[in-house]
Amino acid sequence: MMDTQWETYEVFHQSKRGEAHVHVGSVHAPDPEMALQLARDQFARRLKCVSLWVVRTKDITATDYQNESFFAQVTDKSYRDPKAFEAPDKNSPHES
Amino acid sequence: MHEKTYEQRLADFEARVARGEKVEPGDWMPDEYRKNLIRMIGQHAHSEIVGQLPEGKWIPYAPGFRRKLTLIAKVQDEAGHGQLLYTAAETLGKSREEMMEELLAGKAKYANVFNYPTPTWADVGVIGWLVDTSAVINQTMLAQGSYGPYARAMKRICYEESFHIKQGYDAIVALANGTPEQRQMAQDAINRWWYPTLMMSGPPDSLSAHTQQSMRWRIKTKSNEQVRQEFVDHIVPQIRALGLDVPDKDCYHDEKTGHYHYTQPDWEELKRVVNGGGPCNAERLAARRKAHEEGRWVREALAAKRTQNPASG
């Protein structure tokens, strides 16, 4: 029996203020503080990083890949897309 | 809704892989796919961990502070790659602890190249240049593979390996432009590493137990022979451009095929080295075991901290 099977923590990396935290991988750690230290060594030893989050892997609730119907779109939802509208661009408030 | 049969699931799985979609940990997958990936990723992880040793030995003797810092960074990357790969293998259901136990017990295989000695500083340069070039060609291929967590790990690793190649090449360029003794040192190291590096891409396709199935399921997207040929085509002109020799009298550019012809390495030697009979297998395992034992107090201290302060862990 060994003593190395720590829990895993999922690591989220923010490269710059204003950007989203992005999932980059996971680390094994005995507690959240060590997880942050190890995440820094593993995922922030080169590129710029301003913030890291770690979350216990087992605390994540996720959808099931097998259950594709979870994301099935029962009706046509194209009206949610800006491309679905044909109003002339010149009337758009975003045009200069 | 009725349960799908094995044949239906397999057909769905193969269709997904054929479409170039990635397989993710929660997906149904054939047992053989899972086993094959656990084996491959585990061996890959062990290779990174053991791969720290031949070069790590040179950290105290690196010529100059800059090369010392560079080598420390490279060895640290290898430890990091090992950890990334263990977590990728774990998503398939085998724990890191099990894999570590197998490595320490001498039951796990890892890349042949790390069982050869590094008697001079030039060996460190040649490992970065030759061995890591071969590794990047292989890993760029694996990054196109079908299993999501492995492919993601490969992308990150390839980025860091390109630094490893550059620093190794730089060290050899310095020797190649140095004194006659330094040039000879570079040449001797190339002579030592040429065939082990060729072997690293694996046995020829006709002797490879896993290639066909692995390619069908896109665990690999190129055969061992293809990866090895790509390496030879890339590295031979580089070696010759430095005025150094490829230690193979029968290595030439074949106009008909557009590729370099090369002499096949001794495949019996590969088998022997991978199965524990290489020049440094015992030394590498002894060093891993020693490191594991000497790190025990750290693991115990961390466990004690967690018991004392359960709120934080």
Write the ipTM: 0.88
> Would you mind telling me the total number of residues written for chain B in this entry?
313
Of A25, A31, A65, the CB nearest to B313: A31
Contact B87 A42 (CB under 8 A): no
Q: How far apart are CA B132 and CA B165, in angstroms?
A: 6
Query: Quick check: B87 and A8 CB within 8 A?
Result: yes
Write the single-letter amino acid at B38.
I
Name the 3-class secondary structure at A79: helix
Instruction: Give, in order, the Cα–Cα distances in Å from B17 to each of B27, B29, B33, B217, B278.
Output: 12, 11, 12, 6, 37
For residue range B224-272, what is the model confidence (pLDDT) as tens digits?
999 999 999 999 999 999 999 999 999 999 999 999 999 999 999 999 9
Q: What angle do CA B76, B77, B79 make, to 5 degrees?
A: 65
- Residue B110 and residue B1: Cα distance in Å, rounded? 45
CA distances (Å), B308 to each of A19, A56, A59, B311, in order? Answer: 37, 20, 22, 9
Who among A5, A8, A65 is closest to B26 (CB)?
A: A65
Q: What is the pLDDT of residue A75?
A: 74
Mutate to test the interface with A, among B306, B307, B309 (most CBs of A within 10 A): B306
* pLDDT at residue A1, as a whole number: 44
B7 three-class SS: helix
Q: What is the mean pLDDT of residues B13-39?
A: 95
Of A5, A33, A42, the CB nearest to B80: A42
- What are the structure tokens assigned to B1, written together? 């809704």
B299 touches chain A (CB under 8 A): yes
Q: CB distance A45–B80 less than 8 Å?
A: yes
Best of A58, A61, A65 to disrupt the B interface (most B CBs within 10 Å) is: A65
With 90 as the cut, is the pLDDT of residue B141 above it? yes
Q: Is any Cβ of chain A less than 8 angstroms from the Cβ of B101?
A: yes
User: What pLDDT is recorded for position B306?
Assistant: 73
Domains of chain A by residue range: 7-60+68-91
pLDDT at residue number B270: 96
pLDDT at B27 over 60: yes
Q: Which residues from A are below 8 Å from B when comparing CB atoms?
A: 2-5, 8, 24-28, 30-34, 41-42, 45-46, 62, 64-66
**Burial class, B182, CB count within 10 angstroms (exposed 0-12 / middle 13-18 / buried 19+):** middle
The string of pLDDT tens digits covering residues A67-88 is 888 888 767 777 888 888 887 7
| DSSP 8-state class, residue B212 | H
Write the CATH number of the domain with boundaries A7-60+68-91: 3.10.20.520
Decide: B9 and B28 in contact? Cβ < 8 Å: yes
Q: What is the pTM of this model?
A: 0.92
* Nearest-angstrom CA–CA distance, B121 and B119: 7
- Please state, in angstroms and rounded to a whole number, the distance separating the CA atoms of residues B176 and B122: 10
Per DSSP, B112 falls in state G
Q: Which of B24, B27, B83, B297 to probe the A interface (max A CBs under 10 A)? A: B83
B160: which chain A residues are within 8 Å (Cβ-Cβ)?
Answer: 46
Cβ of residue B12 closer than 8 Å to a chain A Cβ: no
More confident call, B308 vs B301 = B301
* A51: three-class secondary structure by DSSP: strand
- Position B81 scores a pLDDT of 97
The residue of chain A nearest to residue B100, with distances taken between CA atoms, is: A4
Q: From chain A, pick out residues whose CB is under 8 angstroms from the CB of B153.
A: 25
Q: Cα separation of A35 and A13, whole Å? A: 13
**Are A31 and B84 inside 8 Å of each other by CB?**
no
With residue A9 as reference, give the H or E element that holds it. Answer: strand A7-14
* Percentage, residues of chain B above pLDDT 90: 90
Residues 6+ apart with CB under 8 A from A86: none
To the nearest whole number, what is the mean pLDDT of chain B?
Answer: 94
- Determine which of A1, A2, A59 to mutate to test the interface with B (most B C-beta atoms within 10 Å): A2
Instruction: Please state the rounded mean pLDDT for residues B155-169.
Output: 93
Taking 80 as the threshold, does the pLDDT of residue B309 lie above it? no
Residue B191: is its pLDDT beyond 80? yes
Alpha carbon of B242: minimum distance to chain A alpha carbons (Å): 31
Residues of B in contact with A65 (CB under 8 A): 24, 26-27
Average pLDDT over residues B141-154: 96
Question: Which domains does chain B show, CATH number per domain?
Answer: 30-201+210-269+281-291 (1.20.1260.10)
Hey, CA dihedral for B183, B186, B189, B193, is it positive or negative?
Answer: negative
Residues 72-91 of B with CB under 8 A from A: 76, 80, 83-84, 86-87, 90
Q: Give pLDDT, residue A49.
A: 97
Which residues of chain A have a pLDDT value below 50? 1, 96
* For range B213-223, the mean pLDDT: 92
Residue of chain A whose Cα is closest to the Cα of B309: A31
